[in-house]
Amino acid sequence: MKLDFKPLLLAIFLFTANTFAQLPIKWVYPINGLSNTDVNALEVDKEGNTYAAGSYYGHLNFPDSKQFPTQGQHNGFLIKISKTGKTIWALNFVSKNYVLMDAACILINGDVVISGRNYEPFKLPSLKKGKEKEITSSGTFLVCYSAEGDLKWVKNFSSLHASFSSLSADALGNFYATGFYKINFTSKDKTYPNQKNGYNEYLHKYNSNGDLVWDRLFKHIDLDYNFTLRPKVKILQNQEPVVASEFLMSIKFTENDSFSIKKNEDEREIYFVAFDTNGKLKWKKQLGGLSTQWLGDFDINANNHITGAGQFYREFSISDAGITSKSKDYKLQNGSGMVMFTLDKDGNLLHMEHYRSKRITSGPQPNCIRALPNEDFLCTGNYFDTVEVSKKDGTILKVGSWPSEHSGFAGIWNEAGEVQDFWKPIDSHLGWAMGWRIGVSDKNLAVSFEVWNDVLIDVKKKKKKVKQLGGGRNPVIVGMILPERKPQQTEPLLAEACSIELIQAPLISKKFRTKEEVTSFVMGNEPQEEIIEEIQTEKPDTVDKSKNVRGNFITEISFKVAPNPTLGEVKLMMTGINGNVSMKLFSQTGCLLFSQSVRIESSSYEQQLDLSSLAAGTYLLIAEGAGMRKVFKIVKI
């Protein structure tokens, strides 16, 4: 028997009702080049160190006296910054022509992978002498560095117009890379057909050694390159990839799965497509309306909610069976705006809201969105003039002022699509600024801004002036304080889902008086031996054997839970049992997620549970009856 938890997600809705103040800034790291400098990738590791990858023109100055001297044209850089905002090490990617850095991700082993483009042969740097490596042709590349800045491996792709625009690592030691190419794309692993008219996009899966596991090619009928072409990939909690970008006319994912624009007025629409870990297409989603639709970014939180931020012109319209009663179809004539939307793990639309500036021709533009550890989403971007957003309680949050300004914003939305806070982190009055990239780990947060002219930043309640030493734009990276994890409030649609009465029942040898006691037990905060002896936890295969007395016979009872930890499916196998047995599954918050009673008459029984729709974490499975009581801790990864 196999049970699917999809109906469970519709029955139980967890949300964070607490609002948070604007996130304080604890350190500032300005970077100055001779002209235009960009941070195109920002990642934070589990120790709190920030990796910034990007490109600069001429020379590059760091805030703590380190610098790259003037040489070449547009060069690339990779910087590792400590959790206090100090340079740990920096690598310089120098060519006679262009080297542009596009994306980065941190692997589960702590290595960092970055992608870039080069227009002439050049040498990849390494902090460990003798590890430098020559790239002998123009094209795009993937390169892996250790946490100490040592070059580990490189993959080079010969092409004229190509890029790995997004990288994302899973929890199994792999990473996914998505991007685009035109004309040609060739490596030792893969050669794609020439695409002279327009661009194609692709998705690659690699292991931690840079070996290609599989790839998928997305064929555009017509798509000309511009600066908004940046396909993105993110990972669901079951370690499956989701890709999103835009298309014109039509796009084909497989021979049988494609999207096309239905109206002549449509110019650009957004697509989402999800694959399993073996590269099989699972679902696809098309979003759009009249005129141009643009996806700024999207991310996935611990509850498998996919929140995206984009911009539209004239109209953004979605009709979907999964849409909630709060959502709308937006048909703004002669205007533009920012749209925030949320999908579930199967691509069903849950929420959609829009925001725009007072100046009708220039709405706020989202550039990056990342899920925070408390399951909210932080979005950064830029706006012109003034932007107002409304909270659920009717409070109006306003940024901007007159005279007109072009500045960066930051906003926090919960997974229900409700804005929690919206503010301007840096003061660029009479100047220009853009909220650009976000890096976040479990305990640390970094945000980069692209700025023109001097800016004022409030650091630990003191105004700090950051001067621009060169012309053009330069990045400022700030370390922000994450909002505290707040206890989640539970709003069950089924009254019995989390009732105290059920939890108070003597499910095991100790009564639970409150949901907090269940949570403490599941999380391992209580002495387990005082509660029950047979605790099974975090083993590949969990087996328990005991004796059962029935009349004058002694039978051996065997329990097995496998695999444990699990990515989704888990099987409970029982032998040596005759009688009625109840099974209950609890979450970390003490909610009863599943309950079933069965009668076992053949002395053996198997129960298969599908946990793929549940968030990663620890769950408590209790089997009781027929003279026995067993407790299993199941770890979902």
Tell me, what's the pLDDT at 465? 87
The per-residue pLDDT for 112 is 98
Of 194, 215, 195, nearest in space to 204 by CA: 215
Top pLDDT among 267 and 120 is at 120
pLDDT the model gives residue 438: 98
**Phi and psi angles of residue 555, each rounded to the nearest 5 degrees, phi first:** -110, 150
Residue 508 lies in a domain: yes
Higher pLDDT, residue 1 or 256: 256
Task: Give residue-wise pLDDT tens across range 587-614.
Answer: 766 677 777 777 776 667 777 777 776 7
Determine the pLDDT at residue 96. 81
Phi then psi for residue 417, to 5 deg, are 80, 15
With b for 16 or more beta-carbon neighbours within 10 A and e for fewer, the 88-109 pattern comes to eebbbbbbeebbbbbbbbbbee
Number of Cβ within a 10 Å radius of residue 580 = 12
For residue 444, is it within any domain?
Answer: no
DSSP 480-547: EPPPPPPPPEEEESSGGGG-HHHHHS--SSS---SHHHHHHHHTT-S-GGGT-S-EE-S-SSEEEEEE
Please, which pLDDT band fits residue 84 given cuts at 50, 70 and 90? very high
Range name among 289-298, 321-330, 489-498, 545-554 with the lowest pLDDT average: 489-498
Taking only the tens place, the pLDDT of each residue in 361-396 is 456 889 999 999 988 999 999 888 788 888 888 888
Average pLDDT over residues 190-218: 88
Token pair recorded at residue 252: 């084909």
Confidence (pLDDT) at 514:
52
148 found inside a domain: no
In a 3-state reduction of DSSP, which class is residue 624? Answer: strand
In a domain, residue 518? The reply is yes
Q: Which two tokens stand for residue 448?
A: 């980069």
What was the pLDDT predicted at 504?
Answer: 33
8 Å CB contact between 389 and 309: no
Residue 588 DSSP one-character state: T
In one letter, which amino acid is 163? Answer: S
Q: What is the pLDDT of residue 463?
A: 87
Query: Would 632 be classed as within a structural domain?
Result: yes
DSSP code for 109: T
Provide mean pLDDT across the span 139-158.
Answer: 95
Are 307 and 413 within 8 A, CB to CB? Answer: yes
Q: Is 470 helix (H, G, I), strand (E, B) or coil?
A: coil
- Omega cis (within 30) before 24: no
* Closest by Cα among 187, 178, 186, 111 to 143: 111
The rounded Cα 559 to chain-centroid distance in angstroms is 37
How confident is the model over 243-265, as pLDDT tens digits? 998 887 778 888 788 777 766 55
| pLDDT category of residue 274 using cuts at 50, 70 and 90 | very high
**How far, CA to CA in Å, does 353 sit from each of 15, 135, 338, 396, 412?**
17, 46, 8, 15, 14
CATH number of residue 546's parent domain: 2.60.40.3080
- Residue 564 belongs to what domain range? 490-636
Query: Could you please report the per-residue DSSP string of 27-68?
Result: EEEE-EESS--EEEEEEE-TTS-EEEEEEEES-EE-TTS-EE
For the ranges 51-55, 132-136, 217-221, the one whose mean pLDDT is highest: 51-55
> 287 lies in a domain?
no
Q: Are the C-beta atoms of residues 545 and 554 closer than 8 Å to each other?
A: no
Amino acid at 5: F
The number of folded domains in the chain is 1
C-alpha dihedral, 502 to 506 to 509 to 511, nearest 10°: 70
Domain contains 579:
yes
Tens digits of per-residue pLDDT, 9-19? 333 333 323 33
548 pLDDT exceeds 70? no
Higher local confidence (pLDDT), 356 or 508: 356
Name the average pLDDT for the chain.
Answer: 78
Q: Indicate whether 436 pLDDT > 60.
A: yes
The reply to whether 615 falls in a domain is: yes
